[in-house]
Amino acid sequence: MSTHQQLLYHIVFSTKRRKRLLNDSIRDDAFAYLAGVCKRLDGFALEVGGYYDHAHLLVRIPARVAVSDFVGKVKANVSKHLNEGKLIGVPFAWQDGFGAFSVSRSNKEAVGRYIRGQMEHHRKRTFEEEYLELLKKHEVEFDERYVFD
């Protein structure tokens, strides 16, 4: 019997210390590059978006690849791209960790809309508020003292 899978994840990570480095002039380029890296890693980004200080991905990851390995490679490649291109003017880095939340096929469209609406969404709440809410919604145990770098 062959193997079949449909593994969708909502992945969230911020810039180091949540600095607002993803400005209007480079954000679209950074997110497009991020989607391209996902494809090169045999994944598929259904949606990529975010705000000035963080990124959201709705991504399909192959079952043979650990989520942490996939996200680590994505973040490293995008950081390298932004730093080599000197697109920001200061060294760019992502936070060390990330959030990964499984997404059912039935919620795929809702998560995609949520990611597309990030610029509007963050007129009312911070990344920190959003991220803590995601952790609680998905029933992830955490110690608030260690969530953010």
Domain ranges of the chain: 8-142
Q: What percent of the chain has pLDDT over 70?
A: 100
pLDDT band at 148 (very low <50, low <70, confident <90, very high): confident
Q: Cα 18 vs. chain centroid, distance in angstroms?
A: 13
Q: What is the pLDDT of residue 92?
A: 93
Overall size of the chain counted in residues: 149
**Which H or E run includes 106?**
none
> Domain 8-142, CATH 3.40.50.300 — does that match?
no
**Which H or E run includes 39?**
helix 27-40
pLDDT tens for each residue of 25-60: 899 999 999 999 999 999 999 999 999 999 999 999
What is the three-class DSSP state of 94? strand
In the predicted model, is pLDDT for residue 4 greater than 80?
A: no
pTM, full prediction: 0.93
